[in-house]
Structure 1
Amino acid sequence: MGTGGLAWPGRFRPRRTAARGSVTEGAARAGLAARGVIYLLVGALALQIAFGDTSEEADRSGALAELSQQPFGAVLLWALGVGLVGMALWRLSEAVFGSVGQDGRSVRKRLLAAVRCAFYVFVAYSVLSFAASRNQSGGGSSDQQSRDATARALEMPAGQWLVGAAGLAVVVAGGWIGVRAVLRKYHDNLRLGQMSHRTRQLVDVTGVAGGAARGLVFAVAGVFAVRAAIDYEPEKAKGLDDTLRTFADTPLGPWLLACVAAGLVLFGVFSFAMARWRRV
């Protein structure tokens, strides 16, 4: 009797672990799907800009405004916010317990998960705030947010160095995202055995093209932040919308923006594929 009583709590340990795993997996897949929705909308808005329609901003606030105008828009906004909360919780669990893979418990992977958690906490908060305020505000456009944050940072001691370092970090992050996509590093996290050959080819098209476009946008936004720091002009910092519009000002004109926008749409589709086949 005594021995059985001591062993009793241990009998539920596998169940607790399995329950935690199921909750984490559900949160991860909901978060990846929510990310896919945002990139699909941003990419679609950027395509509209490329072909002459500039009525909406091609960033998160523009995507939320677009979503709110759809049937059951309020419900969709809340669902999107909840999904992003799930993404943040999944990254938090990776920071605390480690992630899948041989080096999933390494300090580097845990720190990266913590940074991603903080990012998605911010994104989830902005989406839920937008839903709660009945579409009056999404925290402002990404362009205005970037300029305001840059101006505040430049006023701090060593502000130019801080902004420059942050911009350089974004450039490096963009390059890292793009290179990993081209090298198909995402294969390490996918259940490839559950895909047909045709499905794997389609996932690779969305993963490579979408990841490369996403990395390019990050890198260009980082370059503008570095320029703002060097020239001490916060107005030169650009958010997602202004960064995307910059592609239309190149010698290639709107066609480059159209290609980048199509890449963001593909990354949205890739996020749905990750929601279906990612190992969590």
Structure 2
Amino acid sequence: MTSTSSSPRSGTTGDIWEKAARAGYAVSGVLHVILGFLIVRIGLGANAEADQGHALASLGHQPLGTVVLWAAAAAFLALGLWQAADALRSDEEAMDRAKAAGKTVLYAALAFTSASIAMGSAAGNGDQKAQGFAGTLMQAPAGRLLVGAVGLGIIAGAGYHVVKGARQRFLDDLRALPGHDHLGTGVKGLGTVGYVAKGVALLIVGVLFVSAAMTADPDKAKGVDGAVEWLLGAPGGPVVVVLVGLGFAAYGLYSFARARYARM
């Protein structure tokens, strides 16, 4: 967004809402670093769960963990509301509004998960959630088509991530600050590797949803954890899984830069 007005929605005033929304990117960075670490451990043979719920739960186990989780919930909520405001802006293009709406749902879900874990709820299993979601959709009229459509949507999102990373289109999301006329090669490298790695994981998730639709078996639908498990069984799987984990961590480190340089 390039507006230069001094309204709270312009992202130029440094108000509390903007700062909280930027903190949401930083918290997302922490989660991706933890998730990357978990994926790397799986690639090295450890028994671990690779999903955002368990990454959040690991934060709760740290000193002042409950306080950290509530702070994360507040930051994700602020970022979700910011995206919701973007989705409702009449001067945005339809595609940008649709992407903002999708991000609203994502960050609202993360806020809810953070608050739930802070209140003592179990993190839950990402694969079980995916299977439950696919099973619920299959009970609806044309349910298999709906599950397949979800899978194709995830595959499209995966392609978007890969292209955005490979062509460094994520730089359009950032803006230079006074005294920083350009972003370092480190930020560019982290963003490139991070987006591509997320795209690879999402591609597998999407394919598994399509497989669930084709076989009418919701148990074949998986989340990121299931995608990592699938990659682990492929030729050269452990090496690929470690590389994907490092990519997720790279995306997390990129998110710290995004917290500062994001165009709001």
Contact 2:11–2:18 (CA<8 Å) still a contact in 1? no
Partner of 1:5: none
User: Could you say what secondary structure the match of 1:57 adopts?
Assistant: coil
| Paired AA for residue 71 in structure 2 | A
Residue of structure 1 in register with 2:67 after alignment: 75
Contact 1:24 1:93 in 2 (8 A): no
**Residue segments in structure 2 that go unaligned for 5+ positions in a row:** none
Structure 1 counterpart of 2:34: 41
CA distance in 2, matches of 1:169, 1:17: 30
Q: Tell me the CA shift for residue 227 of structure 1.
A: 0.2
Would the alpha carbon gap of residues 17 and 75 (structure 1) be closer, same or farther in structure 2, given more than 3 Å must change? closer
Change over 3 Å in CA distance of 1:110–1:228 after alignment to 2: same
Mark the CA change 1:258 to 1:14 in structure 2 (over 3 Å): closer, same or farther.
closer
Q: CA deviation at 1:192?
A: 3.7
Tell me the equivalent position of 1:231: 215
TM-score by length of 2: 0.91
Say whether residues 1:137 and 2:107 are aligned partners: no
Determine if contact 1:169/1:222 at 8 Å carries over to the other structure: yes
- Structure 1 residue 201 and structure 2 residue 185: aligned? yes
Distance across 1 between alignment mates of 2:12 and 2:185: 33
> What does residue range 34-113 of structure 1 map to in structure 2 within 5 Å?
34-54=27-47, 56-97=48-89, 105-113=92-100
- The reply to whether residue 155 of structure 1 matches residue 142 of structure 2 is no
Contact 2:11 2:263 in 1 (8 A): no
Between the aligned partners of 2:142 and 2:202, the Cα distance in structure 1 is 24
Report the RMSD for the aligned CA atoms in angstroms.
Answer: 2.1
- 2:114 is aligned to 127
TM norm structure 1: 0.86
Say whether 1:187 aligns with 2:179.
Answer: no
In 2 relative to 1, CA 97–20 (structure 1 residues): closer, same or farther, beyond 3 Å? farther
What's the CA shift for 1:195? Answer: 3.7
Q: For 1:102-127, what per-residue CA distance to the aligned partner results, in whole angstroms no more than 9, with x for missing partners?
A: xx711221122112112211221111
Q: Aligned-pair distance for 1:180? A: 1.1
Instruction: Name which one, 1 or 2, has greater alpha-carbon Rg.
Output: 1
In the TM superposition, what whole-angstrom CA distance separates every residue of 1:127-167 from its partner, at most 9, and x where no partner exists? 1111112xx312x2110000111111112110111100110
Instruction: Give the C-alpha shift of residue 189 in structure 1.
Output: 2.2
Whole-angstrom CA distance in 2 between matches of 1:145 and 1:210? 24
> After TM superposition, which residue ranges in structure 1, 4 or more long, deviate above 4 angstroms?
13-21
Is residue 27–residue 90 contact of structure 1 (8 Å, CA) maintained in 2? no
Q: Percent identity, please.
A: 32
* CA–CA distance in structure 1, aligned partners of residues 233 and 9 of structure 2: 53
Q: Which has the higher helix share?
A: 1
Q: Report the secondary structure of 1:71's partner residue.
A: coil
Q: Provide the rounded CA distance (Å) in 2 between the counterparts of 1:85 and 1:278.
A: 17
Q: 1:206 to 1:131 in 2, by over 3 A?
A: same
The answer as to 2:214 corresponding to 1:221 is no
Q: Which residue of 1 aligns with 2:250?
A: 266
The residue type paired with residue 110 of structure 2 is V
Residues 95, 109 of structure 1: 8 Å contact kept: yes
